[in-house]
């Protein structure tokens, strides 16, 4: 019996399928766990800070770090710091380090760093956002709903900063 290519029915070779392309499993990111690693909230001028007055100025800083655990497992830390000020006084401030343990498989080595620094924090962000909103509300203020973070832009900024701060070779 022959197939449409004129070869044997078993793929054109006796005893095996050496010519068949090897199927690579698709890339995957698995969340092994997520957790608050460090968190603080301060309302230093309570109860005076809760009087209705003008809208406070809120400054938010976001950073991402990654640490290998073992094998394909990586801990990604999403750090979000925020400070609300009104009339030169701190209304409230917070510092959250929200982490996830991820298992990343079948990702090409050249793509690993962007996956870790963009996709992993993108998965963590909604949970960190909810923690901050709930905590600010429990501190006596309206919930602080953080705008989505552009982790691609944050990644590019980090690469640009690293290149700008890299020592240059001298001849």
Read off the pLDDT of residues 103-128 as tens digits, 9 standing for 90 and up: 999 998 899 999 999 999 999 999 99
- The CATH number given to whatever domain includes residue 53 is 3.10.420.10
Residues in the chain: 171
Say if CB 164 and CB 156 are below 8 A apart: no
For the entire predicted model, the pTM comes to 0.78
Number of domains making up the chain: 1
Measured CA to CA, the distance from residue 145 to residue 127 in angstroms comes to 12
Average pLDDT over residues 32-36: 97
Provide the pLDDT confidence category of residue 20 given band limits of 50, 70 and 90: low
pLDDT at 8: 44
In a domain, 11, yes or no: no
Q: Which domain holds residue 84?
A: 33-155
17 occurs within a structural domain: no
In a domain, 68, yes or no: yes
Terminal CA-to-CA distance of the chain, rounded, Å?
Answer: 70
Give 72-128 as a DSSP string: TEEEEEEEEEEEEEETTEEEEEEEEEEEEEEEEES--HHHHHHIIIIIHHHHHHHHH
Indicate whether 57 belongs to any domain.
yes
Q: Mean of the pLDDT values across residues 87-112? A: 93
């Amino acid at each position: 019996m022959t197939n449409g290519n004129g070869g044997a029915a078993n793929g054109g070779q006796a005893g095996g399928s050496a010519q068949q392309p090897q199927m690579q499993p698709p890339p995957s990111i698995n969340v092994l766990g997520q957790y608050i690693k460090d968190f603080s909230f301060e309302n230093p001028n309570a109860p005076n800070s809760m009087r209705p007055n003008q809208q406070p100025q809120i400054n938010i800083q976001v950073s991402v770090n990654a640490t290998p655990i073992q094998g394909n497992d990586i801990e990604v830390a999403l750090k979000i710091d925020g400070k609300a000020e009104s009339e030169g006084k701190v209304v409230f401030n917070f510092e959250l380090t929200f982490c996830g343990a991820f298992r990343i498989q079948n990702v090409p080595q050249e793509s690993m760093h962007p996956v870790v620094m963009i996709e992993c924090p993108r998965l963590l962000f909604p949970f960190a956002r909810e923690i901050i909103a709930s905590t600010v509300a429990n501190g006596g203020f309206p919930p602080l709903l953080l705008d989505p973070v552009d982790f691609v832009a944050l990644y590019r900024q980090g690469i640009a900063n690293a290149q700008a701060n890299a020592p240059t070779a001298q001849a």
